[in-house]
Amino acid sequence: MPTDQFSVAGQTAVVTGASSGIGRAIAERFAADGADVAICSREQENVDPVADGITDDGSGGRALAVECDVRDRDAVEALVEATVEEFGGVDALVNNAGASFMASFEDISPNGWETIVDSNLTGTYHCTQVAGERMRESGGGTVVNLASVAGQRGSPYMSHYGAAKAGIINLTTSLAYEWADSGVRVNCIAPGFVATPGVEQQMGVTADEVDRDEVKRRIGTSEEIADVAQFLASPASSYVVGETITAQGVPRAMESPDA
């Protein structure tokens, strides 16, 4: 049975927040499968090594590194314009860029709230609106948003982050309906704990310590989220529209009284 439907080869994908962690894993996965990738970060020197690694590998697609703060509409427009100029269009957008910090609700300053909402939700709005215009003009494409389980059920000391991610989940559902007639599929991934550099700093768990074959666990790897992203950007997910796929390992559940 063929598996070509799971491939993103030949596509051009924009991946935001691709200097490390989940974004980097997605960019490298797409490129290894034959997609050209435009990758961005707020600091050029952070994203250049990722593009260099993809280019040096030489076995897949090409990479373009662009400095872009997704909160800045002009910077987002420049990112998409550079992508179209370099690769000829945009077929897929992965909205991974974001930020977070832990604080009780009463300790979140107006600036702190605005920073998190802008980095996660408003950045997703900017990138989707700008890249989506190119997709709709060319007959379609895919948008993969990155939310969080914090946006599905809330999370103590992460109210600003959870609120922003909940907005992304709702945006996914709404926009999937609006853009279906234009051939653009919009879906979302809600990861739980993933062994990214940020989580390593907070929890002391590295990706090397995660056994990907173990079912009973509560922490995953960036590569496992890249698996889901590739599926959602590929023809294999053609009947998946407006959905949020939760990737969190073993779910929380009430223990049986007989256990």
Domain ranges across the chain: 9-246
Task: Name the pLDDT band for 200 (thresholds 50, 70, 90).
Answer: low
Query: For the chain, how many helices (H) and strands (E)?
Result: 9, 9
Does residue 19 register a pLDDT over 80?
yes
User: Active site residue: 125, 161, 177, 239, which one?
Assistant: 161
pLDDT digits (tens, 9 = 90+) for 64-85: 999 999 999 999 999 999 999 9
Quick one: pLDDT at residue 219? 85
9-246 CATH choice from 3.40.50.720, 3.30.1110.20, 3.10.20.310, 1.10.3710.10: 3.40.50.720
Does residue 159 register a pLDDT over 90?
yes
- Closest alpha carbon to 64 in 42, 90, 87, 88: 87
Task: Name the pLDDT band for 259 (thresholds 50, 70, 90).
Answer: very low
The residues, ordered by sequence, that sit 6+ positions from 97 with a Cβ below 8 Å of its Cβ are 16, 17, 23, 40, 41, 70, 119, 120, 123, 127
Please give the C-alpha separations between residue 28 and each of 21, 62, 165, 180, 190, in angstroms, as whole numbers: 11, 10, 24, 28, 20
Quick one: pLDDT at residue 203? 59
pLDDT digits (tens, 9 = 90+) for 103-153: 999 999 999 999 999 999 999 999 999 999 999 999 999 999 999 999 999
Are 68 and 76 spatial neighbours (Cβ–Cβ below 8 Å)? yes
Quick one: pLDDT at residue 250? 86
Query: Which has the minimum average pLDDT: 15-19, 88-92, 172-176, 216-220?
Result: 216-220
- The average pLDDT across 23-47 equals 97
Quick one: pLDDT at residue 258? 55
What sections of 144-207 are H helices per DSSP? 150-153, 159-179, 197-203
Task: Name the pLDDT band for 209 (thresholds 50, 70, 90).
Answer: low
161 carries an active-site annotation: yes
